[in-house]
Amino acid sequence: MNKILLLLAFGAGYVLGTRAGRRRYEQIRAKAKDFWNDEHVQSAVHSAGEAVESAAGKAADKAGDLIGKVRSAN
Protein backbone atom coordinates (compact mmCIF):
# COMPACT_ATOMS: atom_id res chain seq x y z
CA MET A 1 0.00 0.00 0.00
CA ASN A 2 2.84 2.42 0.83
CA LYS A 3 4.49 1.69 -2.50
CA ILE A 4 1.27 2.56 -4.32
CA LEU A 5 0.97 5.84 -2.45
CA LEU A 6 4.61 6.65 -3.18
CA LEU A 7 4.11 5.96 -6.88
CA LEU A 8 0.95 8.07 -6.98
CA ALA A 9 2.67 10.94 -5.17
CA PHE A 10 5.66 10.73 -7.52
CA GLY A 11 3.37 10.67 -10.53
CA ALA A 12 1.36 13.64 -9.29
CA GLY A 13 4.54 15.61 -8.60
CA TYR A 14 5.91 14.79 -12.01
CA VAL A 15 2.69 15.79 -13.76
CA LEU A 16 2.48 19.04 -11.82
CA GLY A 17 6.16 19.89 -12.21
CA THR A 18 6.90 18.72 -15.72
CA ARG A 19 7.39 20.96 -18.73
CA ALA A 20 7.01 18.04 -21.11
CA GLY A 21 3.79 19.41 -22.54
CA ARG A 22 0.26 18.31 -23.05
CA ARG A 23 1.06 15.11 -24.94
CA ARG A 24 3.19 13.75 -22.10
CA TYR A 25 0.52 14.79 -19.61
CA GLU A 26 -2.10 12.86 -21.59
CA GLN A 27 0.17 9.78 -21.68
CA ILE A 28 0.63 9.91 -17.92
CA ARG A 29 -3.08 10.50 -17.37
CA ALA A 30 -3.96 7.50 -19.56
CA LYS A 31 -1.52 5.27 -17.67
CA ALA A 32 -2.94 6.44 -14.34
CA LYS A 33 -6.47 5.70 -15.55
CA ASP A 34 -5.40 2.23 -16.73
CA PHE A 35 -3.74 1.62 -13.36
CA TRP A 36 -6.81 2.76 -11.41
CA ASN A 37 -9.12 0.59 -13.52
CA ASP A 38 -6.93 -2.51 -13.18
CA GLU A 39 -8.86 -5.38 -11.60
CA HIS A 40 -6.14 -5.96 -8.96
CA VAL A 41 -6.19 -2.29 -7.89
CA GLN A 42 -9.97 -2.22 -7.74
CA SER A 43 -9.96 -5.43 -5.72
CA ALA A 44 -7.53 -3.85 -3.24
CA VAL A 45 -9.67 -0.69 -3.09
CA HIS A 46 -12.77 -2.78 -2.44
CA SER A 47 -11.00 -4.80 0.27
CA ALA A 48 -9.71 -1.64 1.92
CA GLY A 49 -13.20 -0.14 1.88
CA GLU A 50 -14.65 -3.24 3.52
CA ALA A 51 -11.91 -3.18 6.18
CA VAL A 52 -12.62 0.48 6.92
CA GLU A 53 -16.36 -0.17 7.18
CA SER A 54 -15.75 -3.09 9.53
CA ALA A 55 -13.35 -1.11 11.72
CA ALA A 56 -15.73 1.84 11.82
CA GLY A 57 -18.57 -0.42 12.89
CA LYS A 58 -16.47 -1.94 15.67
CA ALA A 59 -15.35 1.52 16.81
CA ALA A 60 -18.96 2.73 16.88
CA ASP A 61 -19.97 -0.29 18.96
CA LYS A 62 -17.14 0.32 21.43
CA ALA A 63 -18.00 4.01 21.66
CA GLY A 64 -21.63 3.12 22.34
CA ASP A 65 -20.58 0.70 25.07
CA LEU A 66 -18.34 3.32 26.69
CA ILE A 67 -21.09 5.93 26.58
CA GLY A 68 -23.45 3.45 28.23
CA LYS A 69 -20.91 2.75 30.98
CA VAL A 70 -20.35 6.44 31.60
CA ARG A 71 -24.09 7.11 31.78
CA SER A 72 -24.69 4.23 34.17
CA ALA A 73 -21.78 5.32 36.38
CA ASN A 74 -23.32 8.79 36.84
**How do residues 13-71 score in pLDDT, each as one tens digit?**
777 776 667 777 788 899 999 999 999 999 999 999 999 999 999 998 888 888 888 88
Number of domains in the chain: 2
42 and 22 in a common domain: no
Q: How many CA atoms lie within 13 A of 32 on its CB side?
A: 15
The torsion region of residue 18 among left (phi > 0), alpha (psi -120 to 50) and beta comes to: beta
69 and 48 in a common domain: yes
* Mean pLDDT across 1-24: 77
Cα 67 to Cα 60: distance, rounded to the nearest angstrom: 10
32 and 12 in a common domain: yes
29 and 58 in a common domain: no
